[in-house]
Structure 1
Amino acid sequence: MLPKLLYQFGGEKTPEFLLQAFSLKANKEVHQAKYGELFVLLQLKKTIIGEQNLEAISQEILNLIQTKYFKTGEENFLLRLQEIIFTLKSGYTFPIDVSLVLFSVCQSGSLTLLNYVGFGEFELYLVRQNQFFTLPLSEIGISGQILANDFFILGSKKFFDLVDQQKIRELITKDKKSKIEQALFGEKHLLALVLGQQPKKIKLPAFLKIRLPQRKERHHIPLNYARKNIFFTPKRKLSLLVSIFFLVILSVIVGFGLYKQEQKSQELEKQKLLDDVYYRLNQAENLKNLNPKRAKTLLSEAQQTLATYKTSGIQNVDLSSLEQELNQAFAEVSGQILISEPKVFFDLGLINDELVASKINLTGSDLIILDEQNQNLVLLNTSKKSHEILAGADIVQNNSWLGSIEEWVFLIANNRLQIIDKAEKKQVKSFKLSEMKIDGFVGYGSNAYILDKAAGEVWRMRGNGENLLQPDKFFEKEQDFSDVSSFAVDGSIWIIYNNGSVGQYVSGVRNLLFPDFGLDKPIQNPSLFFTDENSANLYILDKANTRVVQVSKKGEFVAEYVWEGMKDVSGMVALEEQGKLLLAKDSKIYELEIRK
C-alpha cells in the first residue's frame, strides 16, 4: 500500500520568498496505479530585487514536472526525475535561488517503491522500526523499496532545527500534532510533510467479548436446609458443564489466536528479510556504474540475507529466479561467476569406458589427453569432436610430463623424452635427457621448454623438423625459482609463483611483474597455469578457493569462475576462439563460457 500524506506543516508565500508543497497524480484514474503519487517540495528565494513573479515561476516549474514525469514511455521513474533536474539546471536561468525535492511513490507488483531526487535547503528522513535514518539528498537520486510501517519526513532544514526526533515519534505513534504546532508557532521559512500509513486500532472480535451475568440477590438459607446437597442439583450440574465447555472453547480460540499471531510474526520477519534482499538488489543495480565496489558489497549482503531466508523454513516460495538474478548481478559487478554444474564438452566414455584424463594439452584445435592409469594417449579434435588413439601401454608410462606442437606430442618419463608423430600415430624419436630436474614442460612453435627450478633455468630444445636439438638456456643469468609454481609459453615465458604473482620474460629478461590482481581472496598455491599464442588472457587454477581466475596479459582482472568441482580438476586449457575454457575431471571434459 502506498504511503499517504498524513500531516503538512508550514508553507509560506511572499513577493520575496515562496515555500510550498504539492501532491501530483496522473490525470486519468487508470494511470494512477502505474505512476503512483509525486510529492514536490519547492522553495524559491529572490537573489536580487526585481519584478520576478515567484508564483508564476512556481507554476512554470510545476508544469514542467507534470509533463516530464507523467509522460508515456519507459517506466524508469528515477530517470524521469533525473531528467527534470537536468532540464531545470540547464534550461532555466531564473534570477532566484531554487531548492527542490521530487519524491515519488509507486506500486510495482507486490512491491512498493520510492524514487527521489533533490537539491538545496531540504532534508529527508526515514523512520523504520522507530529508528531514524537520514536519506541523502542528491541530484543523481536514490531508489529503493518501502516496507510496511515506514514513515518519511520531508522538510526544510529549519523545521528539523525546531522539531526534534522525539516529537516526530509522538506525532507518528500518538498523533500529537499539537506539540509540533506549539514548537512552530510564529516561526517562518518552515515546511514539512509526513508520509506513511495511519496505524490501525485492533478491534476485539465479537465472539471474544465476554458478558458477565448480572449479580443476583443472595438469600439466606434456613438452617434446616443447610445440610442438603443443593450445590450439585441437576440444574447446577448442567450449568457447570456448559460453563466448562465454553471455557474449553474459549481456551482453544485464544490458543489458536496466539498460535496464528506467532506464525504471522514469523512470516513478517521472513518477509522483512526478503524485502531487504530486493532493496539491496535494486540499490546495487542503480550503483553498478557509479560505484561498483559499493554495488558489490550490497549484492554480497543480499546473498547472505537470502541464505538466511532459505534456512528459515518457509514453504511454497520459489526463490530460484531471485537467486539467479542475484548471481547474475553479482557476476556482472564483481566478475565472479558461480557455477552449479558445468556443461560437458566431451565424455571420454564414448572412446573407452575406463578412460580417465590425467593431463590435457592444447595445440591449435588438437586437444591431447593423457590417461596414465590405463596407459592411453588420445587426440581429440575440438572443432569436429573426432578422436584418435595415438599410443598405448608400450609408450605411455605413469608420472609422465605432457607437451605438444603442431606435428608432434612429447612425453617425458624417467628423464626419457619420447616424440610421437600425430599423423603416423607412432613414436619417431626417444632419447635420454641430461641430468636436469623437470618441474614443468611445454611445447611451443617447433620447440620444447623444460622448467628446472633447482638450476633457476628454463631449458629450450629447438626443433629442426626431424628431432629436437641439445637444450640451451633461455635466461642470461640464473634465476631464483625456489617459489615458482608453474610456467606457460606464448613466445614469451610466463612464470607464476606460489603466492599468485605472475612475471613475463622476453629474450631472457623480465618485462612485466604483476604482484596481485586486486582479488578479494588471494591466490594460494596455484595448481595449473595456462596461456598460449592464441589467448589474450592468463588462466590460473586455484584449487584452495575452488576457482579459475582469468586475467588479461596487461594484469587486469577479468573474471573468476567458482565451482565446487575445481578441487578435482586435473587439466585446463582455453579455446578463446570458441569462447570456451576446458576443464578435465575424471572421465569428462567440461566447458565454461569465457567472459570477454
Structure 2
Amino acid sequence: MEGGVWGQIFERDGLIALVSAETETISAGREVISRLNELYFGAEARGLAILKKVVEEMINEFEGLQIVAMITTDDYMGIVSVGGGVWTKKADGEGWIIPLEAESKSVVAMGGKIVPGQTIVAGDQAFWTGVTLGSVKAAVEDPDLEQGAEMLGTMIRGGQRMGGVGIVLRMQNNTQSSILNTQKAPKLNFKVQWPKIHLPMISLPKINWPKGNTIYLAKSKEEKQKHTLWVGILFLIILTILIVVGQVRRFELAQKNSEFAKRVETLKFKFGEAEGLAGINPTRSRNLLTEIDKEVASLSAFKQSKKDKDLAYIKSGIGEVLGIATGTKKTTGDLVIDLSLVRDGMTGTKMVFGDDKLWVLDTLGSRLVSVDPVKKSADVIAGKDILGESKTMAIYPGLTTILSEKGIVECSMLNAQCSIKLAFDEGWGNVIDMGMFAGNIYILGGSPSAGSGQVWRQQKTDTGYGSRQSWLADTEKIDELSGVQNIAIDGSIWLLKSDGQILKYVRGVKENINISGLDLVFGSNSRIYTDDEAEKLYVLDPGNKRVVVLKKTGEYENQYLWDGIDQTTGIAVDEKGNKIYLLGGSKIWSIPL
C-alpha cells in the first residue's frame, strides 16, 4: 500500500468483493472489510437487492470507497459496483457489463445467467487505468488463466500507479474456476443401499410325534437352551434391522433437508435479482417472479416450509416486487365534481380535455358542460334546444364540436356561442364516436348488420365542412373495424375494439403495432385516449379496475389500480398537469399521474 490507497479481495459463502479505498492505515482497510461482512451476512436475507443496499450504506460511511461485489448461485450471478468496471468475454461476444465511469458515485446493480466458459474481469479505477483492454483480452485468451492473470498483475505492479485491485473469473459447468480458487463444493448424488442380512441356516431337531389324540411333549434341558439361543439371535436380527432402518431414514431426512435448503438459497438469490431488476429491467424481473412463484408453491410440499423464515420473507415480498416490476400503482380517486348538483339528473357519457377545462356531453339530457377541475366548478354551455339529440363530441383548440340529429354543431370555448355547421348525413351510418385533428372531423361510423366499420372525414372549409369522404385507403378491409368502440387521434388514428385489440392507422393505412408487456387483456368496455400533445396512450379498463399507460410504440409502461374505476365510462388526460380524469355517471374523479 502506497500513497494512501488500500485494496483487498474478500471472499465468503458465494460473495466475492474487491474493495479499494483512500485510507492511510491497513487497520482502517480491515474495518471496511469487517463492515461489509457484518452488513451483508448479518442481514435477514441475501441477494442482489440486499447487496445493493449494503454497498449504498458503505459508500455513505467510507469516503473514496470503490467496490465491485459479486454473488453467485447455480447459474446466476449478481454484480453491484460503484467506482469500478466489469468486462466479460463469452463465446458469442465480449464487452462491458458495467462500464468504468471515473466520476460516477452511483451504485449500479446487474444480474443474469452465467454462461459456461464465460470469463469475467472486474477491477477498480486504478486497475483499469493500469492495464489496457487489449492486454485484458490477451490474458483471458491464455489457456492458463492464472498465467494470464499474473501478466495483468505484473502490469499493475510495474505501473506508476499503485493500489489497483482486480479479479479474473472463468465460469465452468455452472461453477467458478478462478485465480481465487472459489470453486463450489461438488454436488453429491446420494443413493440409499439397503444392507444385505445373511441369516444362518437353522436345522431344527426332528420330532417323532406319538400316535393318539393327546400329545405330551417334554423338553429336555438341552432343547430349552437351544430355544433360548434362537430367540436371542432373532432379537438381535430385529434390533439390527431397526437400527439400519432408523439410520437410513435419518439419512433420507438429512438429504431432504439439504435439498430444501439448497433450493431456498437459490430462490433467495433469484428473488434478490428480481428486486434489483424491478426498476431496471421490469420484463426480466417479472419473468423471474413467475419462476419464483412456481418454486415457492413446489417448496410448500416440504414440512419445514412452514417455519422457514427465508421462504416466508420471499412469499410476503413477491406482491410488492411484482407491483414495482409491473409499474402497478395503487391509488384513490379524488372527486372533482358531482354533475347532478349542477343540474338534477345530469350524467356524462363522453369527456374530453382542452383549454385547461373538461368538456362533458350529457347525451341523455343533450347538454354540454364545461368543468374547471381546479376550481371544481361547472357551467352548462348549451342544451337540447340548441344541440338537438346529441350523440358524441370532440374538441379542437377554441372549439367544441357536437354531432347530433341536427348535424355538426360548433360551440366556441370563448363566448359559448353555438351554431350548426353541417347538416346530418345518413351516410355516416351508426355513429360510434368522433375526433378532430388539424380542424378536420373524423367520424367513426359503422354498419353492425354488415359487420363492418368506416372512418369518415369532414374537411374544414371557410364556411364549415366539406362533404363526407372515406378516410381509409381502398386497400383496407372495413370488416376489421367491426367491434370498434372508440377513437383517439394524434395525427394517427387509434381504434380500440371490444376484444381489447388496438388498431393504428396512418394516412388511412393500417400499421402493425404489437402491444406487449400486459399481464391481462383489456376488458370489453375499455376506452382509449390520446391527443397530439400527449406522449402516451391511455386505456381505461373498468373490467380490471385499472388505467393502463402504453408507449406509442406499443410497450406497456405502467398501470393505476383503484376499485372505483369499475364504475367509470370515460377518460381524459392532462399530462402537463399530471392528472388522469375519469367519468362515471354524474361524477368526475382525478388520479395523479
Q: Please give the TM-score of this superposition, normalised by the length of structure 1.
A: 0.51
CA drift of 1:571 comes to 0.9
Match of 2:443 among 436, 447, 450: 450
Aligned to 1:36: 37
Aligned to 2:493: 493
Aligned to 1:73: 65
AA aligned opposite 1:577: K
CA drift of 1:296 comes to 1.8
AA aligned opposite 1:86: A
Q: Distance in 2 between matches of 1:539 and 1:28?
A: 53
AA aligned opposite 2:146: V
Please tell me whether the aligned partners of residues 331 and 561 of structure 2 are also in contact (alpha carbons under 8 angstroms): no
CA drift of 1:502 comes to 1.8
DSSP-derived class of the 2:572 partner: strand
CA drift of 1:429 comes to 2.2
AA aligned opposite 2:456: W
Pair 1:563–1:167, CA change in 2 (3 A): same
Q: Distance in 1 between matches of 2:348 and 2:262?
A: 49
Aligned to 2:288: 298
CA drift of 1:34 comes to 2.0
Aligned to 1:441: 434
Q: Distance in 2 between matches of 1:308 and 1:533?
A: 50
Aligned to 1:540: 539
Q: Distance in 1 between matches of 2:147 and 2:570?
A: 63
- Kindly report which structure 2 residues correspond to 1:526-537, keeping only aligned pairs within 5 A, or say none: 527-537=526-536
Q: Distance in 2 between matches of 1:465 and 1:381?
A: 31
Query: Percent same amino acid among aligned pairs?
Result: 19
Q: Distance in 2 between matches of 1:89 and 1:76?
A: 13
Aligned to 2:337: 347
Match of 1:326 among 321, 324, 329: 321
- Kindly report which structure 2 residues correspond to 1:12-411, keeping only aligned pairs within 5 A, or say none: 34-36=35-37, 73=65, 77-78=69-70, 79=80, 85-87=121-123, 91=130, 97-98=145-146, 119-120=169-170, 155=183, 160=186, 165=188, 279-287=269-277, 292-300=282-290, 326=321, 329-330=324-325, 336-344=326-334, 346-348=336-338, 352=342, 356-372=347-363, 376-381=367-372, 387-392=378-383, 394=385, 400-411=391-402
Q: Distance in 1 between matches of 2:183 and 2:264?
A: 30
Aligned to 2:580: 581
Once the two structures are superposed, residues 496-538 of structure 1 have per-residue CA deviations (whole angstroms, 9 ceiling, x without a partner) of: 44451422231xx416221543544444546212222212333
Aligned to 1:480: 477
Pair 1:549–1:529, CA change in 2 (3 A): same
Aligned to 1:200: none
Q: Distance in 2 between matches of 1:418 and 1:313?
A: 70
Pair 1:502–1:72, CA change in 2 (3 A): same
Q: What is the aligned length?
A: 395
Q: Distance in 2 between matches of 1:308 and 1:382?
A: 51
CA drift of 1:417 comes to 4.1
Once the two structures are superposed, residues 130-175 of structure 1 have per-residue CA deviations (whole angstroms, 9 ceiling, x without a partner) of: xxxx667799x9xxxxxxxxxxx9647xx84xxx726899xxxxxx
Please tell me whether the aligned partners of residues 542 and 565 of structure 2 are also in contact (alpha carbons under 8 angstroms): yes
CA drift of 1:546 comes to 3.9
CA drift of 1:401 comes to 1.4
Pair 1:276–1:347, CA change in 2 (3 A): farther
Q: Distance in 2 between matches of 1:354 and 1:273?
A: 62
Once the two structures are superposed, residues 232-275 of structure 1 have per-residue CA deviations (whole angstroms, 9 ceiling, x without a partner) of: xxxxxxxxxxxxxxxxxxxxxxxxxxxxxxxxxxxxxxx99999
Please tell me whether the aligned partners of residues 457 and 475 of structure 1 are also in contact (alpha carbons under 8 angstroms): yes
Pair 1:537–1:526, CA change in 2 (3 A): farther
Q: Distance in 2 between matches of 1:167 and 1:313?
A: 26
Pair 1:385–1:302, CA change in 2 (3 A): farther
Q: Please give the TM-score of this superposition, normalised by the length of structure 2.
A: 0.51
CA drift of 1:340 comes to 2.9
Pair 1:474–1:465, CA change in 2 (3 A): same
Q: Distance in 2 between matches of 1:385 and 1:90?
A: 62
Q: Distance in 2 between matches of 1:276 and 1:348?
A: 54
Q: Distance in 1 between matches of 2:365 and 2:314?
A: 45
Aligned to 1:252: none
Q: Distance in 2 between matches of 1:166 and 1:478?
A: 65
DSSP-derived class of the 2:403 partner: strand
Please tell me whether the aligned partners of residues 364 and 406 of structure 1 are also in contact (alpha carbons under 8 angstroms): yes
Aligned to 1:61: none
CA-based RMSD of the aligned residues comes to: 5.5
Aligned to 1:241: none
Q: Distance in 1 between matches of 2:63 and 2:414?
A: 69
CA drift of 1:390 comes to 0.9
CA drift of 1:360 comes to 0.3
